[in-house]
Structure 1
Amino acid sequence: MGTFFRDETTSVGMSDRSPSGTPTNVQAQAGWTDVIDDMESTAASYRDSGWETLELHPGDSVLVDSDRRTGLDVLLPGPEFEALEALADDSPFESVEVFRAERGGIVYVLVAELDPETETVAFVPAYYDRASSNETIEAIRDAGEIRLFCRRLDDDAVAFVHDDPEPFLPEPP
């Protein structure tokens, strides 16, 4: 399977489906479809190698910087949150692969939280608007870590902490 932790950034395979100048939500929708497609094919590769996989489908994602949480926040449907919570109870998820791409001011990430010992991987796709997240991006860089909050509506969360935030963030200006 190779190296389980990547500290470099790898782009997800995304084609330019929407022309520039289209509204951000249209660009996000086209890019989001590409991220989900990449998640499915990457998960299939892991399954073919014998890994247990969990593919998550957030209803919303955003970079947040508040008194309660700073990091990447994704909202999961109840059953997917429960499946992740059960996996997190059994697996330490000590490694991560992050695939990142940017198009039209939207940053797309596909996070693979890995437990090589149990050969378990949870895939968390997300996106956020770069322009409206500049202050949060800088706060995360200053902190030297990023937290990935996978939560449900009642605010229960499974959080992953990563010491290197750069793979999650756009290139500095």
Structure 2
Amino acid sequence: MEATAAEYRDRGWTTLELHPGDSVLVDSDRRIGIDVVLPGPEFEDLESLVEERSFRDVEVFRAEGDGLMYLLVVEADPETETAVFVPAYYDPSSAPEAIESIREAGTVELFCRRLNDDTVEFVHDDPAPFLPETGE
């Protein structure tokens, strides 16, 4: 994450690197997507950034290893040259229903939240970069 954020900064972008304490794939009545828990100060920084910007672009770096799916999600606002870096991970073998729900919905939501459940959501129309390959 640090190297990728540095590349953005070298191009003149403002960056915010987040450090979630936990990350999980969720499929419930309240949430379907990727849920990351942030420390309070980082959540507040994120909240202030999204109030003034429109993060409509996303870049997803994905790797699989040790039975886990690792993601680095870069939420970007090209107009203001601002990028938020959200690392996440989940165990695909423990969440096949969530993966199928996301595929069927055709969208994926990234929930960045505090323990008190205050949440900043990013919604993406192409869930494929966030999910394991289907093998088809």
Query: What TM-score range do you get, normalising by the shorter chain?
Result: over 0.9
Partner of 2:19: 57
**1:20-31 matched pairs, under 5 angstroms:** none
Q: Which residue, out of 55, 76, 83, partners 2:45?
A: 83
The equivalent residue for 1:3 is none
TM-score (norm 2): 0.98
Provide the rounded CA distance (Å) in 1 between the counterparts of 2:27 and 2:45: 27
What does residue 160 of structure 1 align with? Answer: 122
Partner SS for 2:112: strand
TM-score (norm 1): 0.77
For 1:46 and 1:147, the matched residues in 2 are separated by 24
Q: What letter matches 1:84 in structure 2? A: L
* Residue 92 of structure 2 is aligned to residue 130 of structure 1: yes
Aligned residue number for residue 31 of structure 2:
69
Whole-Å Cα distance in 1 between the matches of residues 11 and 129 of structure 2? 25
Counterpart in the other structure of 1:111: 73
User: Which whole-Å CA distance do the structure 1 matches of 2:66 and 2:21 have between them?
Assistant: 21
Question: Which structure is higher in strand share?
Answer: 2
The alignment partner of 1:135 has SS state of helix
Secondary structure of the residue that 2:44 maps to in structure 1? helix
CA distance in 2, matches of 1:150, 1:75: 6
Which residue of structure 2 lines up, in the alignment, with residue 17 of structure 1?
A: none
Count, aligned residues: 135
Tell me the distance in 2 between the aligned counterparts of 1:142 and 1:48: 39
Q: Which runs of 5+ in 2 are unaligned?
A: none
